[in-house]
A and B are shown apart, each in its own frame.
Chain A
């Protein structure tokens, strides 16, 4: 079984719901047995796709403008970026364009880009058109998603897509920051490579025989 370890960084202006999105995603995996009040900005989760296990490290970033200059430290060596904006505030979408420019300038390795329009629950106040965002996502070679962290809509797809994107990247030989190792010889498949830290989450997604059609959460660690 192949294991891919990748870093995914969440970028976006302050207040667009970066953390809520991550916490919602991780928290749902935890909801069965762990208190929902997890407060952290670093998470790990594991997604199994086909015969590949993808370990995602989610790095949340501070969106304040004054920490903007520190952003390169965060997205260095990142394999994927979630570019989150608020569909009810157009300027957050403009900010994303700046982020993309910066990434394109500073990051040499290929990166999975996911453009996420958050807060679809406030769709009646929408300022950023879906078509516009979608076109932009295509132009930067990314995928566009719309989510609602409040109603927990569409978040899983975002992470799943990033994981699939990383698998694709791993097939690309020029990507060095992605840690790829074969753990097929490791013996027992239940063995978890790294005991999950208390604040991290592990997700197992097993894909059915027809890939992409049936996905069910088998369990959480």
Chain B
């Protein structure tokens, strides 16, 4: 998270790189004119060679000043400064002959260097001047003698370091510098300087020499610090996936205050590199660590301990990835006044920083409490762990996805509703269609009553084609007629075979031809005929009692008036109906069986006409098949709702039977409509047994009684369809 947003003070890495054109990958240093130590040395050797070639001393003297006008001006000023110093030195030489070390140093250098080019350590920068100003008051309180002595030591150190920096190892350099500190300390003790002043003078000496010698001492060419810098930098970059959680570090990343402090401490840590004196570097570390304590305090909500501090520091180092980290650490350890480094706050925090770096260098899966495999995956970049920020993003994504799904569900719901509406509409149209069909059937029925006799060939057609074709007139009528006629014939045939039916025996025994004649063209003149017809019609119509109304039809169809009366009776009152229907008790009971009279059952068996029974259910089954698939598609359990809903549903459920009822006998639409308007009556009348208890008392039974073929399914469809629509 913190790596994504770099602090404001962050410098682009390219600016820090060595500016050598050979594509050197090391970091450059302003002290080395922007080169890395390696390239700088090469460059310098080249320039020195050039100088040897050109004997002009004045030109070579201004070598460093040739770079820029600014440095030229600075060099001029320093030349003056140097003159002054040299004067001082000469005076000092005369006066202080006892200081053999310093003088020997000076002598040795003067032989080589005096008058040649301004010594590198005298190329003072504004910051050196500033240091001098900062400590001017402290220095002023020193006796002039001591001041000169100190200056002498400083110059001696500078000179020796400058001449040897490239030749001796870093440890020797370090030893030299530490010795210098000790000598200074002893010198001041000898002069009875009070502790406070001594500290500040030591501070000054350290700061001054280290700032001046920074380019010689920082990352000396004899060390491999630069490689280590690159190594740790690469390592930290590799570990960029490590977050506060891995380190068990309780940094509250979501708090803005804490985040600001994290950035501040990162900036502080990065500032370490820009400082030159070791104690300034230390101070940067201390500042960083104090900010870490502050952020821990606001994260944890109490005083933080070392247990929390070290992980937090590691976290900050990982996120900051400071430039030249190793070089800086080594510089401080080597050249900071040792007696002061390992004591005090700076020393403590610096030790912690070293710990953090060493932890980072040696970080393993174990030290992060991660499985080996996971650690490897993270290190190789195969898997990227989720940080708080990432998880927040993911959460947001999840929420938006959820909303998307909700919207999609709403859409689907609407569409499902529209589908339901459509199906309802379809159902209505189908019902209407069925109703119209029935009307047509009625018409046909009315007509076929007259042409009843000539319908001998018709049955075969109906048998073959009817089940599938919708366009054909509903099978009821032809079937009825066919069955009727066939039954009639069969009946007559059986009559011939001396099947004794008491009512018929009286009548004539018509021959086949006679029967034919009876079928084709009715000769009403015969007194015999009417009776068999009526009889046969009675027989004919009884099969329709499969729907439970046959008895009514039976009553109605032969005589229109009778039917009208019956229907009127339905409308008018139940009691009246009850009377009429008493006859049909057996019919309604046997509605499932499809054959009202046992005698009748036996009849189709004898004839091939048994197919008439399935045919009769034809229309119902047609309705069934057309409806039930849709019902299965749309609704999980269509049958369930049927059971609980008695009152209102029964009316609807019974409507198809009513329709069939109307088809059976109605010639006028008014009548049929009357019946459809009050279907419950029809049902109740149909279902009523001899012990009819009244409409309300029957209650639930109403549903269970209608036959379970077409109508009930239709009913259930309707009901369950209505539910989701609501």
Instruction: Report which A residues bind B (CB closer than 8 A).
Output: 5, 7, 14-15, 18-20, 23, 37-42, 44, 57, 59-64, 66-67, 69-70, 73-74, 76-77, 179, 181, 183, 185-187, 191, 193-194, 197, 199-200
Contact A41 B358 (CB under 8 A): no
By a CB distance below 8 angstroms, the chain A residues around B351 are: 59, 73-74
Q: Is B195 an interface residue (CB 8 A)?
A: yes
**Contact among B195, B311, B339 with A193 in the assembled complex (CB-CB below 8 Å):** B195
Kindly name the residue among B297, B305, B339, B351 whose own CB sees the greatest number of chain A CB atoms within 10 A. B305
By a CB distance below 8 angstroms, the chain B residues around A37 are: 297, 302-303
A220 to B651, CA, bound (A): 99
What are 23 contact pairs spanning A and B, CB under 8 A?
Answer: A7-B342, A23-B303, A37-B297, A37-B302, A37-B303, A40-B293, A44-B344, A60-B306, A62-B307, A62-B311, A63-B306, A66-B366, A70-B355, A73-B351, A73-B354, A73-B358, A179-B339, A181-B195, A187-B194, A193-B196, A194-B199, A197-B345, A199-B293
Please encode chain B, from 289 to 305, with 1 for each CB lying within 8 Å of some chain A CB and 0 for all others.
01001101100001111
How many whole Å from A92's CB to the nearest CB in chain B? 14
How many whole Å from A218's CB to the nearest CB in chain B? 22
**Contact among A57, A74, A183 with B343 in the assembled complex (CB-CB below 8 Å):** A57
A93 to B471, CA, bound (A): 99
By a CB distance below 8 angstroms, the chain B residues around A41 are: 304-306, 309, 348
Interface size classification for chain B: 35 or more
A170 to B293, CA, bound (A): 34
Contact B348 A57 (CB under 8 A): yes
By a CB distance below 8 angstroms, the chain B residues around A187 are: 194
Of all chain A residues, the one with the shortest Cβ separation from B366 is A66
Q: Is B248 an interface residue (CB 8 A)?
A: yes
Q: Given known contacts A73-B355, A179-B339, A183-B195, is B307 in contact with A63 (CB within 8 Å)?
A: yes
Q: Known A-B contacts: A39-B293, A179-B339. Give 8 more (CB < 8 A).
A: A18-B305, A19-B303, A39-B302, A41-B304, A41-B309, A64-B310, A186-B196, A191-B194
By a CB distance below 8 angstroms, the chain B residues around A62 are: 306-307, 309-311
By a CB distance below 8 angstroms, the chain B residues around A20 are: 305
A60 to B304, CA, bound (A): 11
By a CB distance below 8 angstroms, the chain B residues around A181 are: 195
Of all chain A residues, the one with the shortest Cβ separation from B305 is A19
Contact A39 B297 (CB under 8 A): yes
Query: 6 closest Cβ contacts across the A-B interface?
Result: A19-B305, A41-B306, A39-B303, A60-B306, A70-B355, A42-B348
A43 to B339, CA, bound (A): 18
Q: Is B141 an interface residue (CB 8 A)?
A: no
A59 to B192, CA, bound (A): 32
By a CB distance below 8 angstroms, the chain A residues around B366 are: 66
Q: Is B362 an interface residue (CB 8 A)?
A: yes
How many whole Å from B326's CB to the nearest CB in chain A? 15
**Contact among B196, B294, B342 with A77 in the assembled complex (CB-CB below 8 Å):** B342
A76 to B338, CA, bound (A): 13
By a CB distance below 8 angstroms, the chain A residues around B248 are: 64
Q: Is B396 an interface residue (CB 8 A)?
A: no
Instruction: Report which B residues bind A (CB closer than 8 A).
Output: 192, 194-196, 199, 248, 290, 293-294, 296-297, 302-307, 309-311, 339, 342-345, 348-349, 351, 354-355, 358-359, 362, 366-367, 369
How many whole Å from A69's CB to the nearest CB in chain B? 7
A50 to B311, CA, bound (A): 41
By a CB distance below 8 angstroms, the chain A residues around B345 are: 42, 44, 197, 199-200
How many whole Å from A5's CB to the nearest CB in chain B? 6
Of all chain B residues, the one with the shortest Cβ separation from A63 is B307
Contact A19 B306 (CB under 8 A): yes
**Contact among B302, B307, B342 with A64 in the assembled complex (CB-CB below 8 Å):** B307
By a CB distance below 8 angstroms, the chain B residues around A77 are: 342
Of all chain B residues, the one with the shortest Cβ separation from A37 is B303
How many whole Å from B539's CB to the nearest CB in chain A? 102
A63 to B309, CA, bound (A): 11
**Contact among A15, A61, A69, A186 with B306 in the assembled complex (CB-CB below 8 Å):** A61
Contact A179 B343 (CB under 8 A): yes
Of all chain A residues, the one with the shortest Cβ separation from B307 is A62
Q: Given known contacts A73-B355, A186-B195, is B303 in contact with A40 (CB within 8 Å)?
A: yes
Contact B306 A39 (CB under 8 A): no
By a CB distance below 8 angstroms, the chain B residues around A70 are: 355, 358-359
A87 to B214, CA, bound (A): 52
By a CB distance below 8 angstroms, the chain A residues around B194 are: 185-187, 191
Q: Given known contacts A183-B195, A186-B194, A200-B345, is B303 in contact with A38 (CB within 8 Å)?
A: yes
Contact A39 B296 (CB under 8 A): yes
How many whole Å from A67's CB to the nearest CB in chain B? 6
By a CB distance below 8 angstroms, the chain B residues around A42 are: 345, 348-349
How many whole Å from B348's CB to the nearest CB in chain A? 4
By a CB distance below 8 angstroms, the chain B residues around A61 are: 306
A23 to B342, CA, bound (A): 22
A5 to B344, CA, bound (A): 10
Kindly name the residue among A23, A42, A59, A70 whose own CB sees the greatest number of chain B CB atoms within 10 A. A42
How many whole Å from B316's CB to the nearest CB in chain A? 15
A18 to B309, CA, bound (A): 13
By a CB distance below 8 angstroms, the chain A residues around B310 are: 62, 64, 67
Kindly name the residue among A41, A64, A67 whose own CB sees the greatest number of chain B CB atoms within 10 A. A41
Contact B303 A67 (CB under 8 A): no
Of all chain A residues, the one with the shortest Cβ separation from B294 is A39
Of all chain A residues, the one with the shortest Cβ separation from B309 is A41
By a CB distance below 8 angstroms, the chain A residues around B344 are: 44, 57, 194
Of all chain B residues, the one with the shortest Cβ separation from A22 is B305
By a CB distance below 8 angstroms, the chain A residues around B355 are: 67, 70, 73-74
Of all chain B residues, the one with the shortest Cβ separation from A17 is B305
Contact A76 B343 (CB under 8 A): no
Of all chain A residues, the one with the shortest Cβ separation from B351 is A73
